[in-house]
């Protein structure tokens, strides 16, 4: 009887080439695997040499622990690894590589040379081609390993023809090396391409220093420090200042426990922290490291170790969002002019002690009208100023919250509020700042159902077009949650009996009409929920405008209210509310430095 079996075991050479397809996609993949092996070997210096974009030659040398002769010979066998011993080791593995596939996969599709030596042994040279071991002999070298890969995909023409040009392949290698340099800032890295030195990175003492070496000092200064702990999860790194988002090319670098990965979920979580600080459609640069307990993340889910699986993804993503949001809530995220001061600053409580980020987040937003003056130490020089009576009346109902030290303030061109700090001159855009304050007050009020409203002595009667009336009816409940109490008054007319009261010169009718016009014109923007977009629009229309003269008491009240918001440096449209001009920059421009 003739056998009908159609299933057979693949020859080892074919299996190796299939494995190579999972691990070795292009020259950049080879560079990544070899550099990771060097780092796992404890290297403090890694030298990379590339020829023709890696199509002709890739050489990675290190000063790591090296290999004995027996280990060097077996290292090109499939599943040979020093990283794990049992299946239990797969839980919480911290090394970059552990599958035992990189060297055999690379060797199966190239001509491979390994030169290696341990601290107390003689050097060894291993030659292989197409997965076959050709020679094991002596080599003269110091402790460490050099792996040379030549003629990549020489024995798989179908894959070789899919390689891109040398320039494209070199660009991909550069990106990979940049990732490795960021993830291991303690290592010296040198790179040559076609015998030209293109990169020399000494060990860096900080992430910002390494970013500056890779991307330039200006790019590094446009980033804000992130460092936050949420339970067992720590999120640290650098994120782009909202005022600079969209101005420069976007870069995203993400590690989990030091391992560079791709994770759209974590990126989306970080981007969510920018809600109400940047326009929809623009995306920030991110350089973040997430540290989680080793047992809470599975790194054994991708052949190239480019993805991970979390035990509790939701908790991890919320930790990332919270960390970035808190970083954006500091004064350092304010837009700089020239060279930004690097010292972290926050508003200071009346006691004189620095108010923490946590205190700023937990401080209740004032429920009284904005231009109430809750600072008990304010001087009496505003007693006769416009709006001071209204401010004093509202102050009686202001909540008890940590007061802030208000520096001497001055208004410039009826648009900006300026004050002096030890390291900078600071300008606050009065409209953008008030917009941020009102937006957060409205959002908090909608959440707890306590938006302050003022009953009108004489109700407003507004006549709308049919499309405007339809837009108002669609958002009637949201308008009510913001303090607009309205009822139908026949046809397309609406009678308004109560309105929000954000400041004495608030024009309720104009605000409502402008907001309806934005609804009809679909100009509320995207990227925010419906109630967030409406709150943002009403806040914009209700805020004081550029050109409004503010009394000293009003400027102080705005300063205090802004200090109690979660994101004081940015309005809801992505514009800056605060700009800093360092004294160093002023001295440089005046030729004093």
Question: DSSP per residue over 275-342, as a string?
Answer: TTTS-TT----EEEEEE--GGGEE-TTSTTS---EESSHHHHHHHHHHHHHHHHTSGGGSEEESSPP-
At residue 102 the predicted structure's pLDDT band, cuts being 50, 70 and 90, is confident
Tell me what the mean pLDDT of segment 339-362 comes to: 38
**How far apart (Å, rounded) are the C-alpha atoms in residues 548 and 94?**
59
Q: Where are the beta strands (DSSP E) in 174-294?
A: 188-193, 196-201, 223-230, 233-240, 252-256, 259-260, 286-291
Tokens of 372: 């109430």
Q: How long, in residues, is the chain?
A: 593
**Mean of per-residue pLDDT scores for the chain:** 80
Of 163-172, 294-303, 325-334, the one with minimum mean pLDDT is 294-303
- pLDDT, position 177: 94
Of 555, 560, 585, the C-alpha closest to 336 is: 585
Of 469, 509, 459, the C-alpha closest to 490 is: 469
> DSSP assignment, residue 570?
B
At residue 222 the predicted structure's pLDDT band, cuts being 50, 70 and 90, is confident
Place of tokens 């670098």: 253
Tell me what the mean pLDDT of segment 537-566 comes to: 91
Judged against a pLDDT cut of 70, whether residue 540 lies above it is answered with: yes
Tokens of 92: 């919480």
CATH class of 12-201: alpha beta
pLDDT digits (tens, 9 = 90+) for 13-26: 555 555 554 568 89
Inter-axis angle of helices 313-328 and 264-272, to 10 degrees? 40
The edge-to-edge listing of strands for the beta sheet with 485-488 is 453-463, 493-500, 485-488
At residue 374 the predicted structure's pLDDT band, cuts being 50, 70 and 90, is low
**How far apart (Å, rounded) are the C-alpha atoms in residues 122 and 68?**
8
Does the domain made of 207-328 have the CATH classification 3.30.230.10? yes
- pLDDT, position 338: 55
Domain with CATH 3.30.1370.100 in the chain: 453-500+506-542
Inter-axis angle of helices 530-542 and 430-448, to 10 degrees? 140
Confirm whether pTM is higher than 0.75. Answer: no
Pairing type for strands 223-230 and 111-117 reads unpaired
CATH annotation of 453-500+506-542: 3.30.1370.100
Cβ contact 329:567 at 8 Å: yes
Q: Which of the pair, 307 or 213, is modelled with greater confidence?
A: 213
**How far apart (Å, rounded) are the C-alpha atoms in residues 220 and 340?**
11
**How far apart (Å, rounded) are the C-alpha atoms in residues 306 and 534?**
40
Tell me what the mean pLDDT of segment 544-551 comes to: 92
- pLDDT, position 582: 86
402 three-state secondary structure: coil
Tell me what the mean pLDDT of segment 221-246 comes to: 91
Judged against a pLDDT cut of 60, whether residue 430 lies above it is answered with: yes
At residue 518 the predicted structure's pLDDT band, cuts being 50, 70 and 90, is confident
Judged against a pLDDT cut of 60, whether residue 334 lies above it is answered with: yes
Domain with CATH 3.30.230.10 in the chain: 207-328
Place of tokens 């904005």: 370
User: What are the Cα distances from residue 529, in Å, to 231, 438, 535?
Assistant: 29, 17, 10
- pLDDT, position 354: 32
Place of tokens 């980033």: 223
Instruction: Tell me the fold of 335-435+549-589.
Output: formyl-coa transferase, domain 3 (3.30.1540)
**How far apart (Å, rounded) are the C-alpha atoms in residues 510 and 489?**
19
Name 12's Cβ contacts closer than 8 Å, sequence gap at least 6: 78, 131
Judged against a pLDDT cut of 80, whether residue 271 lies above it is answered with: yes
Of 28-37, 126-135, 175-184, 497-506, the one with minimum mean pLDDT is 497-506
């Amino acid at each position: 009887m003739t056998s009908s079996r159609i299933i057979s075991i693949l020859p080892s050479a074919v299996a190796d080439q299939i494995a190579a397809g999972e691990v070795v996609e292009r020259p950049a993949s080879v560079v990544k695997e070899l550099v990771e092996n060097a780092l796992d070997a404890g290297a403090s210096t890694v030298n990379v040499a590339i020829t023709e974009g890696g199509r002709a030659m890739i050489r990675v040398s290190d000063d790591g622990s090296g290999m004995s002769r027996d280990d060097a010979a077996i290292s090109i066998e499939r599943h040979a690894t020093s990283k794990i011993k049992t299946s239990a080791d797969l839980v919480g593995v911290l090394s970059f590589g552990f599958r035992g596939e990189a060297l055999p996969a690379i060797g199966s599709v190239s001509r491979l040379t390994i030169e290696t030596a341990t601290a107390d042994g003689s050097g060894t040279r291993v030659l292989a081609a197409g997965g076959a071991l050709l020679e094991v002999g002596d080599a003269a070298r110091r402790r460490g390993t050099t792996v040379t890969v030549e003629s990549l995909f020489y024995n798989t023409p179908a894959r070789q023809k899919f390689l891109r040009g040398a320039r494209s392949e070199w660009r991909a290698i550069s990106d990979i090396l940049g990732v490795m340099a960021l993830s291991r800032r303690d290592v010296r890295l040198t790179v040559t391409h076609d015998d030209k030195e293109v990169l020399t990175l000494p060990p860096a003492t900080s992430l910002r220093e390494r970013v500056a070496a890779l991307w330039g000092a200006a790019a590094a200064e446009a980033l804000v420090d992130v460092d936050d702990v949420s339970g067992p999860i720590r999120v640290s790194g650098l994120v782009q200042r909202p005022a600079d988002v969209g101005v420069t090319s976007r870069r995203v670098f993400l590690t989990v426990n030091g391992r560079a990965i791709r994770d759209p979920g974590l990126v989306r979580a970080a981007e969510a922290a920018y809600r109400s600080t940047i326009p929809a459609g623009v995306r920030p640069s991110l350089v973040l490291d997430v540290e989680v307990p080793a047992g809470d993340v599975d790194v054994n889910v991708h052949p190239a170790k480019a993805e991970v699986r979390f035990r509790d993804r939701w908790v991890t993503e919320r930790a990332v969002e919270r960390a970035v949001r808190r970083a954006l809530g500091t004064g350092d995220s304010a837009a700089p002019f020239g060279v930004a001061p690097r010292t972290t600053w926050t508003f200071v409580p009346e006691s004189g002690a620095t108010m923490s980020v946590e205190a700023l987040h937990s401080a209740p937003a004032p429920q009284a009208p904005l231009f109430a003056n809750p600072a008990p130490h304010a001087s009496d020089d505003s007693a006769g100023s416009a709006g001071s009576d209204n401010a004093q009346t509202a102050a009686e109902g202001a909540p008890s919250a940590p007061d802030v030290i208000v520096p001497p303030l001055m208004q410039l061109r009826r648009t900006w509020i300026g004050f002096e700090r030890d390291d900078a001159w600071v300008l606050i855009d009065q409209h953008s700042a008030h917009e941020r304050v009102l937006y957060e007050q409205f959002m908090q009020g909608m959440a707890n159902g306590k938006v302050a409203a003022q009953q009108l002595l004489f109700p407003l009667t507004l006549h709308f077009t049919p499309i405007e009336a339809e837009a108002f009816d669609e958002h009637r409940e949201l308008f009510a949650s913001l303090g607009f109490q309205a009822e139908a008054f026949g046809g397309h007319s609406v009678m308004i009996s109560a309105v929000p009261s954000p400041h004495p010169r608030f024009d309720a009718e104009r605000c409502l009409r402008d907001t309806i016009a934005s609804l009809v014109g679909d100009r509320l923007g995207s990227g925010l929920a419906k109630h967030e977009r409406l709150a943002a629009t009403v806040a914009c229309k209700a805020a004081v405008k550029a050109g409004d003269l503010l009394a000293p008491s009003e400027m102080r009240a705005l300063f205090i209210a802004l200090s109690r918001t979660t994101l004081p440096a940015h309005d809801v449209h992505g514009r800056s509310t605060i700009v800093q001009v360092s004294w160093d920059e002023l001295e440089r421009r005046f030729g004093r430095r």
